[in-house]
């Protein structure tokens, strides 16, 4: 799995009709900044409102997953989201001039192909994984559905379906590596049973359905009158079927294509958790309603464990900036370079670490026999961390000085001792204007806040 966040290199557009609404639409993927996430934008509505791809925005599950925010609705988002997860794309704006993404051929492959054409671009920020630490379970006895997320330092999905159908029988599909999604899962098309068609059509669904974008499973004998009705429904001169099989005798791309498509749907629906997931997902007879209910349960577990004020530092991940790169940006040197690693950096936020050891030179004179890190040096570590954030806004940081103008509301909460690791977070309080930045700085040891301050800085070009 990718460690850093990714977006696309350039915009790309796909066009077609929506599966359920039947409305033609153009959908354009655009690059986005780190931590932007996945957002849809209805360009055909007044004000061009955006809709976050978030499980809390789900409003309808009629044969697909529909989200809505600020009066803007996006129908059937699961295939689009699955393609983005499969490509490990974290940040993108999806502009849509209609109510529903184009269904294309009923799979995620046309989206994958378009995104591959746009190309992906690695970004400086690390991905904010939700790593399942304790098993999460969901069960719907009325539908015989069971889903579980088990701890795993990776993302794997296994799906089992059983429709009590002589055509499909019991099937399962597995995705062991997200990088295999494009070749093993993406091309699998949506499907329904023949006995469901009339009900779907009467409920104003599948208005854009066609035998080119959906598999229709025939699990009963069909007489000529019904075949004529189906030909009329799909605007075809003629349709045919073997005694039991697939309408119009469409060839399956995989023997277990329906199970693989259910896996595709689950990947897309679980994207609504809002963060890339590390877990083993096991699902028996899932559907959109169960997927979304499970995604809500995962998000609840994520929020319960998350303390958004405490910066999360994963020692297994590589730094965004190591000590050599930090030294290229900051003019400080031993013994006054107070940060060791930058592990998160975007347009508004930076996070660093400082390992406090007994070998620090200031311990020789600061409370010998009772070593405590001086509070002013904790502030200096925050100041240098904030300096990285400010210098990151210019293309040639080596040609600038950062001077701090003010430190306000400074508080020291707990002592910092040898053996502690400081994790420091600085966040802009407002956009930088005329070279002046104001930011909030916080330093933690574990989950304990040890120091906080509001800081103002000025960025000045070095004189030649």
Average pLDDT, integer, range 186-200: 77
CATH T-level fold of 323-461: Thiol Ester Dehydrase; Chain A (3.10.129)
pLDDT of residue 227: 67
Q: Point out the catalytic residue in the list 36, 172, 332, 366.
A: 366
Average pLDDT, integer, range 60-81: 94
pLDDT of residue 248: 52
User: What CA–CA distance (Å, rounded) separates 179 from 188?
Assistant: 16
Q: Per the structure block, which two tokens stand in for 20? A: 């359920």
Residue ranges per structural domain of the chain: 4-186+258-305, 191-252, 323-461
Alpha helices, H only, 43-129: 78-86, 109-118
pLDDT category at 208 given cuts 50, 70, 90 is low
Average pLDDT, the chain: 89
pLDDT of residue 58: 97
**All residues at 6 or more sequence positions from 431 whose CB lies less than 8 Å from its CB, including other chains:** none
pLDDT of residue 315: 77
User: What CA–CA distance (Å, rounded) separates 398 from 384?
Assistant: 14
Average pLDDT, integer, range 338-342: 96
Q: Point out the catalytic residue in the list 20, 288, 332, 409.
A: 288
Which of 52, 34, 1, 41 is closest to 272 using CA atoms?
52
Check: CB of residue 424 under 8 Å from CB of residue 351. Answer: yes
4-186+258-305 is a CATH 3.50.50.100 domain: no
pLDDT of residue 244: 53
User: What CA–CA distance (Å, rounded) separates 177 from 167?
Assistant: 29
Average pLDDT, integer, range 210-224: 67
Between residues 39 and 202, the one the model is more confident about: 39
pLDDT of residue 413: 95
Check: CB of residue 274 under 8 Å from CB of residue 55. Answer: yes
End-to-end CA distance of the chain: 45
pLDDT of residue 374: 96
Average pLDDT, integer, range 143-163: 94
Burial of 270 (0-12, 13-18, 19+ CB in 10 A): buried
User: Which DSSP string corresponds to 205-219?
Assistant: --TT--TTT-EEEE-
pLDDT of residue 307: 58
Report whether pLDDT(332) > 90. Answer: yes
pLDDT category at 318 given cuts 50, 70, 90 is confident
Pairing of the two strands 72-74 and 66-69: antiparallel
Report whether pLDDT(200) > 70. Answer: no
3-state secondary structure of 378: helix
Q: Which helix (H) or strand (E) holds 225?
A: helix 224-233
Phi/psi at 203 (nearest 5 deg)? -95, 20
Q: Is 201 a catalytic residue?
A: no
Dihedral of the CA atoms 341, 353, 3, 344 (nearest 10)?
A: -90
Report whether pLDDT(206) > 60. Answer: no
Q: Is 366 a catalytic residue?
A: yes
Between residues 196 and 292, the one the model is more confident about: 292
Report whether pLDDT(197) > 90. Answer: no
Cβ neighbours around 417 below 10 Å, total: 14
How many residues are given for the chain? 464
pLDDT of residue 196: 67
């Amino acid at each position: 799995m990718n460690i850093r966040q990714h977006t696309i290199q350039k915009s790309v557009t796909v066009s077609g009709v929506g599966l359920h609404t039947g409305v033609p639409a153009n959908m354009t993927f655009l690059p986005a900044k780190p931590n932007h996430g996945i957002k849809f934008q209805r360009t055909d509505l007044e004000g061009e409102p955006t809709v976050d791809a978030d499980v809390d925005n789900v409003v309808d599950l009629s044969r697909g997953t529909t989200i809505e925010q600020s009066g803007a609705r996006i129908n059937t988002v699961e295939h689009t989201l699955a393609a983005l997860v499969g490509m490990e794309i974290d940040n993108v704006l999806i502009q849509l001039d209609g109510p529903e993404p184009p269904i294309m051929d009923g799979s995620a492959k046309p989206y994958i192909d378009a995104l591959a054409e746009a190309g992906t671009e690695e970004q400086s920020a690390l991905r904010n994984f939700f790593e399942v630490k304790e098993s999460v379970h969901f069960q719907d006895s009325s539908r015989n559905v069971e889903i579980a997320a088990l701890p795993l330092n990776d993302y794997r999905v296994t799906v089992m379906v059983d429709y009590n159908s002589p055509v499909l029988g019991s099937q399962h599909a597995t995705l062991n590596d997200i990088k295999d999604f494009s070749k093993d899962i993406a091309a699998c098309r949506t499907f329904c049973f023949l006995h469901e068609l009339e009900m779907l059509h009467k409920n104003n669904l599948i208005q854009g359905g066609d035998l080119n974008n959906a598999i229709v499973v025939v699990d009963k004998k069909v007489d000529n009158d019904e075949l004529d009705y189906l030909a009329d429904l799909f605007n075809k001169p003629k349709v045919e079927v073997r005694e039991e099989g697939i309408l119009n005798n469409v060839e399956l791309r995989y023997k277990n294509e329906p199970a693989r498509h259910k896996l595709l749907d689950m990947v897309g629906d679980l994207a609504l958790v809002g963060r890339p997931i590390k877990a083993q997902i096991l699902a028996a007879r899932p559907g959109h309603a169960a997927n979304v209910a499970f995604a809500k349960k995962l998000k609840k577990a994520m929020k319960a464990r998350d303390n958004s004020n405490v910066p999360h530092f994963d020692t297994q991940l590589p730094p965004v900036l190591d000590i050599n790169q930090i030294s290229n940006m900051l003019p400080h040197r031993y013994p006054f370079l107070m940060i060791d690693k930058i592990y998160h950096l975007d347009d508004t936020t930076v996070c660093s670490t400082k390992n406090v050891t007994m070998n620090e030179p200031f311990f020789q004179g600061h409370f010998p026999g009772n070593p405590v890190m001086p509070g002013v040096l904790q502030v200096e570590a925050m100041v240098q961390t904030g300096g990285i954030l400010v210098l990151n806004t210019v293309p040639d940081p080596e040609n600038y000085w950062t001077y701090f103008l003010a430190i306000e509301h400074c508080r020291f909460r707990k002592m910092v001792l040898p053996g502690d690791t400081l994790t420091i977070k600085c966040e802009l309080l407002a956009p930088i204007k005329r070279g002046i930045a104001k930011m909030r700085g916080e330093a933690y040891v574990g989950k304990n806040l040890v120091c906080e301050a509001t800081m103002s800085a000025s960025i000045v070009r070095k004189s030649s």
